[in-house]
Structure 1
């Protein structure tokens, strides 16, 4: 199994570099488990670190019912965020640097202290949170035509690609994360609305789930990391020329341009 894990990790990394997707893993290896797929992801993480990249945070995906229904899964997934994924607020992203990108608007958490599961609760997360920040996650799939099941997206680092962070930071005494609203604009047109409750009832629940899931692999959440708790709406396809803005009320706004 270890040889297959190494093979698939190499395939996915190569697919990302060459921007040429691979056939769905689950269609080729139908006996792979979700645990196997996490080991594929961790093999990719190990290789990225060996190449000199650094981890700047982690992400939860598939926390909203909209996204779970879109992909036919019933639990979240997670991925790692690296320094080369970071995009400045308002910057322009080359759409040809990805295969088939989509965007998700999320309330990002910046931790003030480490968090290690198991048995983390959303209260533990709230107490450990230093700030929240408006974010747009740009997701992409190295699996052909987004034909993904849970094993495919977990192996593919949670379908992560880039993350755009806003310039404003809010403390939790300023907002109610559960009811905090989000307005998503594409080329100045309002295309979706959401609220923090879309992410497992409260974004901090998603971060707690992540900390507990990571503990199964002896990984913890670190102070200073950016943690993305999942999208507040279904993912939105983007093309060259699109301008995306997400407004999060008291938390602030964030935008990105695609060319």
Structure 2
């Protein structure tokens, strides 16, 4: 998957976009979170112009990373909870890219500090078998293009200090992406009711998050369809083999050193991830 937003930003914004992208990159490299990115934008209000600049910041770093050889493998959808959208003053989700070096195998441990200020959330992952090149894909197109679903744990992280973010910050920061773990047993969509599938996530056997598919824009396929249409309209359609993290099924949980989490999703099985100590 390549990524080019085709979003235009004003010439006067270019320098601020580069400055913001470099700030996020430095935070990741040094392990020291930066100040909110929204303060660097020419227009700090949430509107079409500032959203375009936030995506341009993200695109700047995507181009940098891909020039460095990082391999995109799919996308993630954020802000799929209506309550979170209301909190941030927006009426739509956002998206980021997934890279191969963000993947962690089921049951493996992540070195502490690999993801800044990590939080975990359980999700449904879809893996595509066919390209979605049509301009306005339908849910039928999406179902037909999907090879299978997997349980996933997304480890979200913020390069911005104390998670002091609004929609502009998280868009600029690749939708606050960190790493992700996938379960190993693929399941066909026709064998699932993703809207009603229940989710339980535990830390060392203690329940810390519960939810269901309907928490994700009413249905995980709704979220996946939104991102498929968004990428198609940007001229960068989702392709066979792409992974789609469809969004949280329940509240995210702050991770600590030496934590270990297991998420179980009805019909999909389980997935586990841990964190090494400081």
What TM-score does the superposition give when structure 2 sets the normalisation length? Answer: 0.88
Distance, in Å, in 2 between the alignment partners of 1:70 and 1:100 is: 20
Partner of 1:84: 101
Aligned Cα RMSD in Å? 1.6
CA contact 2:209–2:253 (8 Å) conserved in 1? no
1:18 to 30, 33, 39: 30
The residue number in structure 1 matching 2:8 is none
The residue that corresponds to 1:124 in the other structure is 141
For 2:56, the equivalent position in structure 1 comes to 39
Give secondary structure in 1 for the equivalent of 2:70: coil
Match of 2:247 among 207, 230, 235: 230
In the TM superposition, residue 23 of structure 1 has moved relative to its aligned partner by 0.8
CA distance, structure 2, for counterparts of residue 68 and residue 104 of structure 1: 17
Q: Which runs of 5+ in 2 are unaligned?
A: 1-12, 45-49
**How many residues are paired up?**
259
Q: Do 2:88 and 2:166's aligned partners in 1 also have CA atoms closer than 8 Å?
A: yes
- 1:253 match: 270
SS of the equivalent of 1:230 reads: strand
Where does structure 1 differ by over 6 angstroms across 4 or more consecutive aligned residues? none
The structure-2 alpha-carbon separation of the partners of 1:67 and 1:184, relative to structure 1 and needing over 3 Å to count, comes to farther
> Which residue pairs with 1:169 in the alignment?
186
CA distance in 1, matches of 2:33, 2:246: 26
What CA deviation, in whole Å up to 9, does each residue of 1:45-101 have, x standing for no partner? Answer: 111000011001100011023443554543211000011101000001112222210
Find the counterpart in structure 1 of residue 5 from structure 2: none
Report Cα offsets for 1:133-189 as digits up to 9, x if no partner.
010000000111111111110000000010101111100121111111111111211
Q: Is the 8 A contact 2:209 2:252 kept in 1?
A: no
1:129-144 superposed matches below 5 A: 129-144=146-161
3-state SS of the aligned residue for 1:204? helix
Name stretches of at least 5 consecutive residues in structure 1 with no aligned partner.
none
Alpha-carbon distance in 2 for matches of 1:66, 1:93:
30
